[in-house]
Structures are given as structure tokens and as C-alpha cells.
Chain A
Amino acid sequence: MMRVVIIGAGMAGSKLAEELAHNSTAKLAITLIGEEPKVGYNRIMLSSLLAEEIGDEDMRLVDLVKMRDSGVNIIAEDPVVTISSKQKKVILSSGRVIDYDKLVFATGSKANILPIEGANGHNVMGFRTWQDVDRMSALPAAQNVVVVGGGLLGLEAAVGLVKRGHQVTVFHRSGHLLNRQLDAAAASLLQRRLETMEIEFCLSDSPTRFIHDASGAVCRLLHGNGQQKPVDLVIMAAGIVPETQLAEQAGLAVNKAILVDAQMTTSDADIYALGECCEFEQQTFGLVAPIWSQISVLTQVLAGSAANFTIMPTPTKLKVSGINLFSVGKIQPDANDACLIFEDVSANHYRKLVVNDGRLVGAILYGNVADGSWYFQLIQNQTKVTAMLDRLIFGEAYCQSQVA
């Protein structure tokens, strides 16, 4: 039986293990090794857990019991510390040694802790794990929380913390929130909405220095032109860094992340990588849709079938209840693109479609995202939209009535 060892029991690793255990045609001996105490949970739902919109029981991603029953060896809280690719074995923190025929890196990523003076304070944290949520949930009431980064993760953290009754300030280096997913117009609608929830924003601004108290905790920060701000907790949500330390140690080719080909194979033919720790065609991956597709590819590859991973645009949504936001594809038009824009500020409704050569290549929807999946389909299928350009922005219903 081919021994497959998966390093990392986050979403990618757990889901891969489950796929291999239940849906693979190959006979495999699977080992899933995790660093966290909890494995196999749905990381995406952490924001909702933080916002107390769901409970612990809603966090399950895979059925660990069923996996164990199928013979998957699940190891938690015992990270891999060394890999010997020559001998095809991994050594865990506990000293345990596990042999493999095929090794899969699913090490994910870690929060990007910005190199700001004082960022080593013990109340500076990322927002990546269930433990992080537990820590935030345990805060005393009405703390001053600073979130560094106005991307998806930062905003979700901010909303969760505000809902828990804290004073939250979001610092964002860009001039508008979610600058990778939204344009300025949509972002300003979002910001207005979040401001009504009493989140404070400092745009085009970031902390320049964290000042510690005697205990080594950050108690104040400096920003802008030297303004000061009292702080009880700092959440670093300024992007993620692929976890590649082990891979580098194992001698795999690494750029921003572990380089893989379309079969998810690294520079070592018996080692694969997927999820946030891999890099394919100069892209890294932070959203689940491409990662699910990587899992599917790798499942087939390990069963000896031919499969290719290709990059498809992936829509993003903000997981904040009451805020509907959808972004997919190319949202910053260049000279060859044209933008169709609908804006209804008083109704908090915004749409922007980016069209290139008669095809939809990007879409931003804010407020009413019902047509998001249809636009996504048009982008994926590269549908010619020339005939419906003058109704396209009004959505599927209008374009269908025109066809009829």
C-alpha cells in the first residue's frame, strides 16, 4: 500500500485526507499530521465564530471519526520538524518518525507580522486559528483593539470584535478598503456601512510604532504624523505568508511559496504541495475554490490518473452578515478594458463590470449580489456578451428577457 503523508491538518490537508480516504480509487495508507490541537475544522468560519453567529459545532469541515474508521492516521499537536527526502521520512516534534512513499505539503500560511517597531509585543496576534478566536473571545470587555489591514480578514476580525463590544480601529495602507477586491466607489459604500457599526478607519495610514508597557504588552501606538492611540490588543491582518520553512529545509524549490506544476508536484517528484503554501504560475492561493480544485487534481494524480490544475478566477465575498459584496476576476481595468458601472449610493448598491474584447473579465457587486454567480459563469465560460452589453449591468433577468 502506498504510504501518503500529509503535513498540515488545516483545510487543505484535512480535506485531501478525506478525499483520499473516501473517494480515491487507489489503496493508500494515509497519515495526516497537524500542528494545532484542533484539526479538520473550517477555517473560513472563524470570522462567524468570532462574531458569535455560529457555535463550535458548526466548525466541522471533515468527519474525523469516519476518517479514523477508514484507517487514516490523524496526528494533532505534533508538528513535523525535519524531513529527509532521501530516506523518505519525516520526524515529528515528539521524535516520532514516519516513512512515506508520497509526501504532501499542506502547511498553509501564517499571518504576516509587519516589521513595525514594537510588533513583538505579546498582545500582537494574527487571526488564523481557532486558538486566535479563543484568545479574542477571552478578552475583558470594551477593549481598544487595533486591526492592521483592511482586507477581508481584517474586516471580518473588526466586525467580530465590534460585535463583542470592543472599540475597533482599522488601519489600512491603501486609500480604500479591500483594495484587492473592490474599487474606491464600492469600498466607500462598504466603509460607510461599517462605520455605522462604529468601526473606526484610518486609511492610507499604518502604525509606525508600538509602545510597550512594563509587561511587554503594546499599550499605545503611534501613527500618521505622530498621533497616539491607546491599545489593548493588536490584530495583524496585513496579509499572509506561505509557510515554507520545512520545504526549504527539505531542499524544495521555493519562490514566494513552494513551486508546483499542474499535477501539484514540487521539485521533488515524490513530494507535492497544495493550498496556501504552494505557488503555481507565479500565483499563490488564499481562497478555497482553487484549493478544492487542487485537492481534486492531486487525488487523481495519486491514483495514477492524468489531471491538470488550471487557474480560474474565483469570486470573493465578505463573510459579514448584512453586508453583501461580491468580487471576481479582473477588477482594475487597464487601457484595453471598459467598465460598466451602476451606482445607487442611497440604496448602498453598486455594480462594476470589466469587459475586454466582448467578454466579461471582472465584476464587483456591492449591496445586491444576486447576479454574482451569473457574472461568474459568464467569466468562466468566456461568454460573448456583445449582444447584451446595454443591459448586462442590470443582471441576468434583463438579459434573459432580451433574448426571449
Chain B
Amino acid sequence: MAQAFQKTTCPYCGVGCGVNMVLPSADKDPVPPVSGDERHPANFGRLCVKGSSLSQTLMDHDRLLTPSIQGHSTSWDEALDTISDKITQVVKDHGPDAFAFYLSGQILTEDYYVANKLAKGFIGTANVDTNSRLCMASAVVAYKRAFGSDTVPCCYEDLECCDLLIMVGSNAAWTHPVLYQRIAAAKQKRPHMKVVVIDPRQTATCDIADLHLAIKPGSDAAIFSYLLCHSDSAGVVDQAFMADSTSGFDEALKCAYAATPSASFTADFCGVPLEDLTCLTDWWADTDKTVTFYSQGINQSSSGVDKCNAIINCHLATGRVGKEGAGPFSITGQPNAMGGREVGGLANQLAAHMDFATPGAQDLVQRFWQAPNMASENGLKAVDLFQAMEAGKVKVVWIMSTNPMVSLPDTAQVRRALEKCELVIVSDCKNNTDTTAMADILLPATGWSEKNGTVTNSERCISRQRGLLPAPGEARHDWWAICEVAKRLGFHSAFSYQGAHDIFVEHAALSAFENSGKRDFDIGHFQSMTQAEYDALLPVQWPVPKGQPAGTKRMFADGQFFTADRKARFIPITPVLPQHVSNKEWPFVLNTGRVRDQWHTMTRTGNAASLARHTNQPYVEIHPRDVKALGLQDQGLARLVSPHGQAILRVKTSRATSPGQVFAPIHWTQAFANQSVISNLIPQVVDPLSGQPESKHAVIRLEAIHNPMFGSILSTQALDLSAFLYWCRIPSEHGFYYEVALSSAAEVEQAIRNLKQQTGLSEYWMEYQNPLSGQSRMACLQENQLVLLLYWHDQPQQLSLDWLVSKLAPDCQVEEQERLAILAGSLAQAEDKGEIICSCFQVGSKQIQQAVAEGASSVAELGARLKCGTNCGSCVPELKPFMPIQVEKSA
């Protein structure tokens, strides 16, 4: 019998989709696939492929189940005592700033709230920073500079009802797929709606673009600087709005004219055709209902705040803010980056959208919390924090639900910092991440579907993440662990919450405390809500002040902002390029980003085999001209070297990236690949105002790796491949699947010996040798079960090992007539699907080609035949190139 859905919220990107989950009837049963919540205002039933695969990620593999100290399992009591003793000692000896939290946009608002409260009010340090620093810190500072508050003015509906959507620094098709699908659907319904993509790369998002400006990396601000000039010269400045609601226009305009005096200058500065720029400026001048949609491509920059303000300036000048279908819309990367901002969970915030510098704020918060040890000034932002750690100033760090060994720039520095730090506490769901490897104390945390609380998405919508499944082992909620330490530090009464509801209510009360409209963030309506009301909470957009339970769709409709004079500020912007420029020694610019089916450092998506099919290995996208000039080979290996480190990646030849530029996805960690942490290459260059690193920019050198021997390995047990030049573990349904490479064919024998030794397998091996095709394959079967399989090839090969992986399933017998197939790679009659394009329905390129050959002439027809593209739709941009004739774009 089908059970009723339980509603919760997706833990991936900042879209914050509602998810329906059916609980298994018995404890041990797997959770059935989830579906989109049709009533949730973020997604109205849609889910992307990552969200659709959530139930697959709920597995016990590598789950952290017990606390440990220096690798030895221990009790929670012992661990918490050790932590509180050490905090007490370092605070006594070195002051409160010797302690720091490094948190995550993945944790819930309630977790954030107690961490922020403990540090800033009770230990007395503002060293509370978070991986959100890497995501949207620049957008926060820019909003605050312009609006006097960290307020996202828009809502998702604006994306559907605008007439011009400028997407800049965002590959939403892959990073925010549900919003992208909503935009694509709206555009189809309203064909006059124009979409402009500004991005150095031709991303999947360009699929719906009427205009793509492939700008020089980091030159975005000039476009908006010029748009401000053009608004003035074209006479589209909203004079009344400017006079009533803004200040600083003249200065900003003067600065803009100085920086971008003409269209031709700007086109040249940005490296785009003049007519394309003119097209954008014409559309901009003609279109009141314009939304600028921006994300990490803008934020992750040494001038990220200025870029955001350049965008906001244009919207202020034209009065395109606070109106339906208009506004500067920062889209956050994480499910609860906004929640973190709300509680003040950044080192340059105090609490509840108040800063240390906000007049009266410290006193207000101190009184509300009855706090004994208030911090009085900004703490250390992420990169500064790890530098202070290396310098010995921060002696205890508590890292929660994040993987800085992969995500922060200059991994080598992060390693040095964590090695130097006297006590590294890591709370996580996973046993083995690059960061848990650095921990002195490991605390098992609850994960998605176990955690209970709230998150806030990119449109200020607060939704419940519900604790639907029991916590495994000794996993505990993060807020609980923090409160237990707080109590041991002597702060009993301030941290004796019974549950997440208690915390949320207090958080709501603080937001409303002595607010009366002075602060944007006010959810006072919830300060007296009951547990039952909390459990039943429906998605709602803040502010939700007392008496306004429906929340607030759009901000600033009244032209009133949160500065002292209630006027928005123009900020004079002089566009600057990224700090490091390519030169003879470092001739390539590295851009970074994401792939469609992975999330962050793969700690969750890495559990789902189906999500690895779209892109199974880390790669570097290089223009064919550079591939040729460097003697690289498509699908072969390249070494990327920067002044900070190296990586080895697969070469992906692509015209999406311009010559001289390369692109690499950020996801792979040392838990999945030995040489593929992209942050290794990134310098610790940050925006001076937001502290956000320039993670999308490094200058590097590329080196071909000549004549390696490639291999594919399947094993029923995990293998130590540290002797290999390159390895990547690819999530698989059964056993362990590795793609590997050795420096040369001469190393194969030694590698085989090593693997035989590791596995202790000395049985008869099946072998296949083919010097003509450079193939060498071997497999070991024990009692007719496949236990180890090695395929070597001297050329890169894209083999589908699905059938072989299925043979790693426990109790799976290899039948007599299947033995040949073990080394052939598949059953003779098995269909070779080709490269998987549609992850939702596992439809491959060869099936699509076949369907096109049989007459399918549109994406819709393909969907009807093969189902591809009919679930999350994120593969639609990749389906189109299969069509015999490209669909004409509307002019």
C-alpha cells in the first residue's frame, strides 16, 4: 500500500525544492525514489536529477557512526568533555579568538543559530565563518552596501514574468536546474521574453539564450558599468525613483563613464563583438521588466562585491527593483546559505541581520541572549581564518558539514593550517572525506532526512527539512552537539533547548526583538509558534513580521531601503580584471565550475551510481586548438600546474571554452581521485570587502602526459591505488570501480603484482591479450563470483562497465557461458547504450542516435520514444545537438 508522502526540502542547491518522501514500511527497506512537492513554491513538483536521486544517496556506505578521538572510537561524553576542556584551556591561555567555527550552508538554521550564539555571545569570538563565504559573500556585502541590508529583493516568479533575463556568471542549467527549467518553460510560453547569457564559456545554459556574450574572464563589471552609462545616454533613468529612493547616482555615473566611455571601448575590454554588446544595451534600454540573475561567476572574484554593485547600480538607475519581473537577483549555491545569513553565521555579521557596526546591535543582542562574553568586532573570514590557524593564532577549530580540504583555495595551505591547529573537531556524516582525515576528534552527525529544522532558499523562502528517518548509530544533530559543549562550558540555561523548535522560536524572537521595521529580517510571527505549528510549517518568504503570516514575496516595493536615510546607495565602480594574469610561464586561465549531476565535494552525490554516469571522471575542458598545440589527446591525461599545486585530469576537447582558457569542475576529492582537487591550483586571492576567494580564476600551465597506460578496475573490495599515476573511483551499484592510469606500459606488471598482493588472490586468472588494439585484460573469479577485474588499454577508452559491475553484486554467479563476456566487457547481445545523456532514465547517446535515425525530429519526440529529457529536463540542451536540423531560434 502506498503511504502518504512526507514533505521535506532538498539538501542541494539554493533553489530549495520541496520533496515528497515515502518512508519504507520496514526499517531495513530502502527508501523509495522521492518526487517533487507539487505545492512547494520553489519547484511546483519539479526535481532535477540530483534531487530525483536523493533516495539512492541514503546508504550506509562509509557512514560515520561513532565519535572518535585520534582515530579511536569513544563515547559522546568523552568526546564532548575533551572538546570543552580544550576550548576552556585555549580561551583561558590565548583568549576567545583562539577558537573558531567553520560551518556550512548545508547545516540547518537552528544549528547555525546555536553555533553563532555560543561563539559570539558566550565564548566571545566572532570567528564563525562558513563555506557560504565561498558562495555568496560578495552578494551579501553588495546588497548591504546598496540597500543597507542583506536583502534579496526578488522572487522566483520574477524570472518567469520578466521580459529580459540577463544571466551572468551562472550555468543555471546545471547548477540550478529547476529554476532553469522554470525559465525555459516561461520563455516557451512567452516567446518575446529574451534571455542573455554572459559567461566566458558556452555553457548548457546558452541553450535558451537569445544572445551569449562570451566575455573575457572576469570582465563582467565593465558590461554593467557601460549599461549604467547607456541607461543615462538612452534616457531610461527613472528620475523620480532616483530622487526619492536613491543617493550617489552622479558619482557612480561619473565613475562609469570614466571606466567605460563607449560601447566600442567596452566591447574591446570584454572581448565581445560590438554588435552583441549593442544588442544587449538596446534590449536593456527597451525592457523595463528586466531581471539580472547572477551567481558564483560574479561572486567568486577579487572584485566580486563591486561586480554585484555594478549590477545593482543599473537596476537602481532604471528603477527596476521591487517591481514584478525586475531586480538584481543573487542566486545562492547552497540549500541554507540564506539561513546562515539570517542568524548572522558569518564572521562579519553579528546576528539576525545585524552587524557589529550596526548602532546598538551589540547591546541589543547581548540583552536578548543574556550573553556573558559578547564578541565586539568582526571575526576571521574563511581564508583569513585558515591563515591565522597556520600562524598559530587559532588553536581549536570546529568544522561542521563541510570539506575545506577540497573547497578552499590552496589546499596545501589548508593542510598546513589544520596540521598546525591543536584541536581539529570535524562533525560529518561521512567517515572518509579529505577533511575528516585531518580531524583530531570526529563527531557523527545526522544527515538529510534525519536532521530536523529549517532552511531558507534564494528567494527568502523558509522551508522545513524534516527528520523522517532515524539517526543511525550514535549520530546526533549538530545543534545538540554544540549545546552539549556549551553546557560543559558552563552555559546551561542559555543552551538547554529541547529541540529544533525551541531554537527556531528563539531565533524568530531575536529577529523581531526591538525591530519595529528597522531591520529587514523579521520573522516575529513565529516567535510564539507551537511545536505542532513548527512541524506543520508551510514554505513562507520572509519577512514574516507579527501580524503578516503570509510573508513577503517582493522587497522594496515601497522604495524604502534599510539605510539610515532609507535610500538605496549607488556605488562608484571601476571594473578590474582578476588579480593574476596569464603570462609566458602560466599561459592558461583556469575557470572552475560544476557538472550537471554532482554536488560540491560528492560526499552525498558520490553515493549514487546513476549520478556518476553523466560525467564519471574529473576533466579539463580545452579548446581543440590548444589541445593540438600542446600535443594533448582527447580523453587522455593532462597535468595542470599552477604556482600552488597540481592536478591530473582527463582532457575534454571542447569549443565551449575559448583558446587560452580551460575549465575544470570542482567536485572530485582525494576520496574519489588522487590528483584532481582543483583548489590545489587556486591562489588565496580574495575580495577585500567580502573575503570571498577568486575560486574561478587561476593561471596555470598544461602539460601532456605522454603514453600512459590506462586501466579500468572492478573489485569487490576497496583497493589502495596510491602507487598509480592517476586513479578515480567511480560510484557504482556494486563493489568498487576505478579508472586508473600508469605512467607507462612498463609499470603494468608491477601494478598487477601489487593488486594481487593486496587482494591475496592467487587463483587462476582469466586473461586476454591483444597487442594490436593495445588491450590487456584479466579477471579473477572465486567460486564463480567475479572478485577482481583489470582492463588495460594504451589508448583512452570509454567503456560501459555496467554489466560487469552488476556481476560484482553479492551472490551473483557468473554463468559458464558468461565467462567470455567478463573479458569482452558485455554480453554479446547486450545493447550498447553509448554515453549516458539522460541520467533520470539512463538513456544513452547510441539509443538517441537510433531514435533520430528512425525519425524522431524533436526533443519532444525523443522524450515520447525514450523518455529522455522528460523528468528533470536538464539533459535537453544535450539532446538538441542530436537533432538532424537545429531548431530555429525565435528572432
Contact = CB atoms under 8 A, between A and B. Distances in A.
A397 B817 CA distance: 13
Interface string B764-796: 111111111101000001000000000000000
Contacts of B765: 345
Interface string A311-351: 00000000000000000000000000011111111110100
Contacts of A398: 824, 828
Contacts of A339: 769, 771
Contact of B824 (A345, A346, A355, A391): A391
B828 A394 contact: yes
Nearest to A345: B764
A400 B763 CA distance: 33
B820 to A, nearest CB: 6
Interface string B800-830: 0000000000000000100111011000111
Contacts of B830: 401
B772 A340 contact: yes
A343 B829 contact: no
Contacts, number: 66
Contact of B771 (A338, A342, A349, A401): A338
A391 B768 CA distance: 11
B87 to A, nearest CB: 60
A393 interface: yes
Contacts of B764: 344-346
A223 B783 CA distance: 41
A390 interface: yes
Nearest to B776: A341
B823 A342 contact: yes
B271 to A, nearest CB: 44
A79 interface: no
Nearest to B824: A394
Contacts of B771: 338-340
A397 B820 CA distance: 12
Interface string B741-773: 000000000000000000000011111111111
Nearest to B771: A338
Interface residues of B, number: 23
A294 B830 CA distance: 44
A344 B824 contact: no
A362 to B, nearest CB: 14
A339 B764 CA distance: 21
A347 B819 contact: yes
Given A391-B824, A394-B824, A395-B828, A341 B768 contact: yes
A389 interface: yes
A339 to B, nearest CB: 7
A174 interface: no
Question: Dominant SS at the B interface?
Answer: mixed
Nearest to B778: A343
A345 B780 CA distance: 11
Contacts of A389: 770, 772-773
Contacts of B769: 339-341
B767 A341 contact: yes
B823 to A, nearest CB: 6
B819 A390 contact: no
Given A342-B823, A343-B767, A344-B819, A355 B772 contact: yes
A394 B770 CA distance: 11
Given A344-B820, A349-B819, A401 B770 contact: no
Contacts of B766: 342-347
Contacts of A349: 819-820
Contact of A342 (B767, B773, B832): B767
A390 B829 contact: no
A368 interface: yes
Interface of B: 763-773, 775, 781, 816, 819-821, 823-824, 828-830, 832
Interface of A: 338-347, 349, 355, 368, 389-391, 393-395, 397-398, 400-401
8 contacts: A339-B771, A341-B767, A341-B768, A342-B767, A345-B764, A368-B820, A394-B823, A401-B832
* 7 A-B pairs with least C-beta separation: A397-B828, A390-B773, A394-B824, A344-B766, A346-B764, A345-B764, A341-B769
Given A339-B769, A368-B820, A400-B828, 5 more contacts: A338-B771, A342-B766, A344-B820, A389-B772, A390-B775
